[in-house]
């Protein structure tokens, strides 16, 4: 798989896993949470008042991240809001949710990732509360490559 930025350039990047809290001291990270597969209001143009807002500290991290990226007495905490636009076999889906893996490109341009079997992703991540409501939320991550592989496996196998 290949990750390219908007200019079509390949990019190397650093992924950071964090067990620390969000940067805004005293304020938990909140993100929009929806999936256009189940709620058509999640697509762009997005209407924030029509979608759920979650406090990311209340969301349990995905099972595949538990234990691998934390110590025995630590809990992985969400540090980004993300928006994923995926297209699988010409079928488009928008997912907005909390994210757990930081990337040096957070709060920058979204990145397009092409996978196998007609899978394409546009991955955006940002670090401010409710920032994943924008039509072009900011940033990208290696997570998109991993997510693309995971989604391809789930959908086609």
Burial track 90-127 (b if 16+ CB lie within 10 A, e otherwise): eeebbbbbbbbbbbebbbbebbbbebeeebebbbbbbb
Cα 40 to its chain centre, rounded Å, is 19
| Count of all residues that appear for the chain in the document | 157
Q: How far apart are CA 90 and CA 131, in angstroms?
A: 27
85 - beta bridge partners?
A: 94, 122
pLDDT at 115: 81
φ, ψ of residue 95 in degrees (nearest 5): -125, 130
pLDDT tens per residue across all 157 residues of the chain: 333 333 333 333 333 333 333 344 568 999 999 999 999 999 999 988 878 999 999 988 888 877 665 666 667 889 999 999 999 988 999 999 999 988 888 999 899 988 877 889 999 999 999 999 987 544 344 444 455 555 555 555 5
CATH topology assigned to domain 2-156: CD59 (2.10.60)
Per-domain residue ranges of the chain: 2-156
């Amino acid at each position: 798989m290949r990750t390219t930025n908007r200019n079509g350039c390949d990019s190397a990047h650093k992924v950071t896993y964090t067990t620390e809290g969000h940067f805004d001291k005293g304020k938990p990270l909140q993100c929009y949470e929806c999936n256009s597969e189940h709620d058509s209001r999640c697509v762009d143009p997005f209407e924030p008042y029509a979608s759920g807002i979650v406090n990311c500290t209340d969301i349990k991290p995905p099972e595949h991240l538990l234990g691998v990226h934390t110590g025995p007495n630590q809990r992985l905490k969400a540090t980004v809001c993300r928006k994923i636009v995926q297209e699988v076999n010409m079928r488009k889906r928008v997912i907005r949710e909390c994210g757990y893996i930081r990337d040096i490109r957070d709060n920058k341009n979204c990145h397009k990732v092409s996978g196998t079997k007609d899978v394409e992703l546009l991955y955006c991540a940002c670090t401010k509360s409710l920032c994943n409501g924008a039509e072009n939320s900011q940033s990208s991550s290696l997570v998109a490559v991993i997510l693309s592989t995971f989604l391809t496996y789930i959908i086609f196998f």
